[in-house]
Structure 1
Amino acid sequence: MIGAGSAGLVSAYIAAGAKAKVTLVEANRMGGDCLNFGCVPSKALIGSAKAAHQMRNAHRYGLRPVEPNIPFSAVMERVHEVIAEIEPHDSIERYTALGVEVLQGYAKLIDPWTVEIALSSGETQRLTTRAIVIATGAQPFVPPIPGIEDVGFLTSDTLWDGLRDRPEAPKRLVVLGGGPIGCELAQSFARLGSKVTQIEMAPRLMMREDVDASGLVEASLRSDGVRVLTGHKAVACGVDAGSKWIEVENDGDRQRIEFDDMIAAVGRSPRLKGFGLEELGIKTDRVVATNAYLQTLHPNILAAGDVAGPYQFTHVAGHQAWFATINALFGDIRRFRADYRVIPWATFTDPEVARVGLSETEAKEKNIPHEVTRFGNDDLDRAIADGSPGGFVKVLTVPGKDRILGATIVGDHAGDLLAEFVFAMKHGHGLGKILGTIHIYPTRAEANKMVAGQWRRNHLNGVLLSLLERFQTWRRG
């Protein structure tokens, strides 16, 4: 396995469990992007930012609001403490104990069965193997804006060390990008004291989500003080008299925005270079070209995770790793197609946005027949009691049937609540099964049952109800 992120670690775990002889090669840090630069540190930052937000808005709970004193360096130190606490799960020691040989260095394919490793010690080692899993992940994409290198910038990979010793959050922060990463970071830094300007070229934030979902996120960001500039294209950067600036364009009008720090969060591109793929004729366009079994041009060389696409999620990387590993070990006996039928994801803004399957926008664009059933959290007892009744649960179903085509949840703990719909879709259960399942009162999970109940009310049999009414009237005499 080349790469010790989610895909590489899961592959190594499965292969070792199957009693294969396994070598895992990592050039940087065990745990890959998710542990060190992405999922883990960003959620730790979000946790601190949310606590500061709750202090400012304590009046919602009958308490006296206070302006939090934010020692930013301590916040960032906590981020690194969280990484360190989770790190043993992905450590060299753990995987060595599982029977995996872990080598730190850069791996390159010499031929389909030989890997050369430039070890961090300076030595070079060659290994021969029956199968190889490419799991090299992705890296932040830096937009080609003139002058961007001159002003300097941070990415989701570099900001955790770059801002670690700052006593205060950046005073004037520009966040390039209106996707999940950009929105999470823009909101968090605004809540921690930065004056944030978020720049997005598209007409709205979070374009992959429905308008009603992204609209709630944008409204929340604005209420937190983020200056959201959608429909604005960054065209130039520069430094004048020691002051950094970025120029944006909207409908032919240009404006300059001065800043102290800038985070480029416009997406991630797979790591494709330097591993010998080109020399072996393995195609690499946006991702490593694979078939349905995650095999490349050479069937014993497979790819999984961000480098393979089509999704860039940690949980999908782990999901792919199972298929890649099983096909690598036993593909000559039986192969398994990677299954992308039910792929969930979430954006951990406040409110959270979680989705699985079709969105309403996609269904309309693709002319897929569907019904929409919606339940608002403003009618959910637990949400009202928690003081956060915003958001909704929206489910798309086959017309006249309860089979779920997709679900979107917006609100607190949306990512957790989505699991019930993921399970239902994966195993072919409809809304009727959810409605017939006991949900604890009062919990947020009741919203899932409520939307199922709303679907049922929308499909009551009018003829049967009329007969029941006549029957009950007859019984009463």
Structure 2
Amino acid sequence: MKKIGLLVFIAAIAAGFFYFDLNQLLTLDGLKSGLAQFESWRSESPVLVAGGFLILYVMVTALSLPGAVIMTLAAGALFGLVWGTVIVSFASSIGATVAFLVSRYLLQATVQARFGTRLKAFNEGIEKDGAFYLFTLRLVPVFPFFLINLLMGLTSIRAATFYWVSQVGMFIGTLVYVNAGTQLGQLESLSGILSPSLLMSFVLLGVFPLIAKKILAVIKARRVYRGFTKPKQFDRNLIVIGGGAGGLVSAYIAAAVKAKVTLIEAHKMGGDCLNYGCIPSKALIKSAKVAHQMRHAEKYGLDSKEPAFSFKKVMARVQDVIRQVEPHDSVERYTKLGVDVVQGYAKLIDPWTVEIQLNDGGTTRMTARSIVLATGARPFIPELPGLEEVGYYTSDTLWEAFAKFDEPPKRLVVLGGGPIGCELAHSFARLGSSVTQVERSARIMIREDEDVSALAQASMSQDGVNILTSSNAVRCQQEGGVKRLVIEQDGKESCIEFDALICAVGREARLEGYGLENLGIETKRTIVTNDYLETLFPNIYAAGDVAGPYQFTHVAAHQAWYAAVNALFGTWKKFRVDYRVIPWTTFIDPEVARVGLSEQDAKQQGISYEVVRYGLDDLDRAIADSAAKGFVKVLTVPGKDKILGVTIVGEHAGDLLAEFVLAMKHGLGLNKILGTIHTYPTWSEANKYAAGEWKRTHAPERILNWLEKYHAWRRG
């Protein structure tokens, strides 16, 4: 009731303002016509007029009524440059703060409750740099100040901060307009403000945000680097710690632009992707798929046969594939590219100095103007009682360990229902293991839509994976040489016997041992960075899994470009990382590929959408390949062909997705895809047919009815 009463009060004042034509007084003509009377009053009672003017200005600003610009001009005409600036400076800040508090009281709780998820990034930015955001907005006079007041009231910025930042930020704009007001008698229109004498003021006003930002950056840097002595000269332009995707691309870019760069890697070049992740897993998946096709050769008109194979040879092939890809990421290649590669363990000594414990013995130190941390991630090991006693494998350790096995584990337990767990469970089931997959969530691949999870689970179950969802791993135990995992499901405990157990419950950033804590670099599961991938120290950057928010090789490479370019050229121009279009694929069979929003994402974020779906059972090439299962699902803006997100489930889904990634990146809609020629018969036609489904559901019915009548008339 209090809020309703306040709204009624504000509405009544605003209505009276317009009903009695008071708004006419706050126009240039109205102001000029009453200027003589105002000057007469000021001469008789200067303090009273000044106080009344201040109160009126506060009311106009607080109620977000039009006329603040005119009143600012009037202040210059009535009180001169100095006193006019003083009065308006305080009145505008007080009025803005009142509007801010009213907006917060009436709307903040409702808006945050309804749109909190969508506003999360904005809220985090305000919490971290709210004062600077507000200061920057206040420096731009053409931006509606009343809108800033109302919108900032919806955030968590403190009222005191809002007031003093507004007081400081609006001062220069106030000064320019009050100065213009001193010439009010000569102004015929608002365009007259841009006289030659004032033009330079507005030019300075336009560039001031950049100057202010630079000044704030210098102040921030002096505070951050206090206590450290910056070298007068540097050994390198850039030092990169970590030889995975993020580190390799960072070093490559630096070398390509002729910077002196050192790449430090303690273990294997190529990082997790080459040695433990993308490459070995895809090699294993291919072998498993061939074995599956042999068992089901009747689908292709051939005789089905249980595949006979040596598991050691399968795992040897995995290592052979790694060796074939290895030269792409080798020390030799990067040395030829101009990168100084050092093999050892790196630790930050200060913001510019790195100490390296060399693999072949000894230590060395070197300095660099900038540093990129690309230390990657490792498998997360849950705190599960008895796990160490029974032994376990991870996506990092299983490749070398399983290479020694004569046959795949007879009974294999996979903990985790995410992409890594699903890929490994599916592959080993196809290679003959009896696989039980344990997932504590209600379904596997929880980040995907329910229909996607259901199709993936059905396919994996059909190939022999026993999937236990809503199941919590309680403990591991071993009795008489028999290993067991105890799980809890629906409040009841049961045991699963196994010969091998793989932990695939996620990955965590490598944060220890690099000197981050000694320098005070903030970490929250990953290294905390800003939009430019800068850490606490503007010359130290992070990229890849250690920086988050996505743990994909292609995202690490994407971030590496920004980290390297900002590190080398950030003094002149910095680039914010663009996360708008991030694709990913889970390589089970059928593959699951996605970019942008899923349906569950859109619902959680309160985003309106339409969905169009094309089933691959209708695609000629899928039928010819006996792989006619899956679908293409596209989310669009209601009534428009703008793509919000795409999910593809089917063979070659990861490859098919690229067309949609390109379209979303460059703002192309489904009509453009529909108008593109696709080779027949190919899998890529599925994208065109999905666009065709959208077009069919958005056919202009009224025009089609008229066309039907037209053709009937033409037939006579």
State the TM-score, normalizing by the size of structure 2. Answer: 0.66
Candidates 155, 168, 174, aligned match of 2:413: 174
Q: For 2:320 and 2:453, how far apart are their aligned partners in 1? A: 32
CA distance in 1, matches of 2:309, 2:552: 31
1:131 aligns to what SS in structure 2? strand
Amino acid of the structure 1 residue aligned with 2:322: I
Task: Measure the CA separation in 2 of the matches of 1:337 and 1:462.
Answer: 44
SS at match of 2:672: helix
- Cα offsets for 1:15-57 (capped at 9, x unmatched): 0001000000001100000000000000000000000000000
CA separation in 1, counterparts of 2:337 and 2:371?
Answer: 19
2: CA distance between counterparts of 1:75 and 1:197? 22
In structure 1, list runs of 5 or more residues that go unmatched: none
Q: Does 1:283 align with 2:522?
A: yes
Distance 1:372 1:275 in 2: 47
CA–CA separation in structure 2 for the residues paired with 1:252 and 1:240: 24
1:152 to 391, 395, 403: 391
Partner of 1:124: 363
- What residue identity is the alignment partner of 2:241? I
1:242 Cα offset (Å): 0.7
Q: How far apart in 2 are the matches of 1:379 and 1:51?
A: 25
Residue 59 of structure 1 corresponds to which residue in structure 2?
298
Structure 2 residue runs without a partner (length 5+): 1-239
TM-superposition CA deviations, 1:245-272 (whole Å, max 9, x none): 1000011111001100000000000000
One-letter amino acid matched to 1:281:
G
Post-superposition, which runs of at least 4 consecutive aligned residues in structure 1 deviate over 4 A?
none
SS of 1:439's equivalent? coil
CA distance in 2, matches of 1:104, 1:290: 26
Residue number in structure 1 paired with 2:65: none
What secondary structure is seen at the aligned counterpart in 2 of 1:25?
A: strand
What residue is the counterpart of 1:29 in the other structure? 268
1:226 counterpart letter in structure 2:
V
Within the candidate set 558, 568, 572, 1:333 is matched to: 572
Higher strand share: 1
State percent identity of aligned pairs: 66
Q: Which amino acid aligns with 2:545?
A: D
1:429 to 2:644 alignment: no
Deviations 1:341-382 (A, max 9, x none): 000000000010000000011111222110000000011010
Q: Look up the match of 1:268.
A: 507
Letter in structure 1 aligned against 2:466: R
Alignment partner of 1:228 is 2:442? no
Determine the structure 1 residue equivalent to 2:491: 252
Aligned mates of 1:6, 1:98 — CA distance in 2: 16
Task: Determine whether 1:216 maps to 2:458.
Answer: no
| Matching residue within 297, 320, 325 for 2:536 | 297
Counterparts of 1:285 and 1:374, CA distance in 2: 39
Q: Which of 587, 594, 600 is 1:355 aligned to? A: 594
* Separation (CA, whole Å) in 2 of partners of 1:285 and 1:456: 45
Distance in 1, matches of 2:256 and 2:362, equals 29
Larger radius of gyration: 2
Return the match for 1:447 from 683, 686, 701. 686
Aligned partners of 2:359 and 2:425: how far apart in 1?
36
Shift in Å, 1:238 = 1.0
> CA RMSD, aligned part only?
0.5
Q: 1:388 aligns to what?
A: 627
Q: Please tell me whether the aligned partners of residues 10 and 322 of structure 1 are also in contact (alpha carbons under 8 angstroms).
A: yes
- Please name the residue that 2:36 is paired with: none
Per-residue deviation, 1:70: 2.2
What is the identity, as a one-letter code, of the residue corresponding to 1:282? I
Instruction: Measure, in 2, the Cα distance between the counterparts of 1:225 and 1:114.
Output: 54
Q: Which has the higher contact order (CA 8 A, sep 6+)?
A: 1
Q: Is the 8 A contact 1:70 1:168 kept in 2?
A: no
Greater fraction of residues in helix: 2
> How many residue pairs are counted as aligned between the two chains?
477
Distance 2:636 2:561 in 1: 30
Residue in 2 that maps onto 1:207: 446
Aligned partners of 1:68 and 1:279: how far apart in 2? 56
Q: TM-score, normalised by structure 1?
A: 1.00
CA contact (8 A) 1:70 1:192 kept: no
2:652 alignment partner, one of 410, 413, 417: 413
Q: Once the two structures are superposed, what CA deviation does each residue of 1:102-160 show, in whole Å capped at 9, x if it has no partner?
A: 01000000000000000001110100100000000000001111110000000000000
Name which of 104, 107, 110 aligns with 2:349. 110
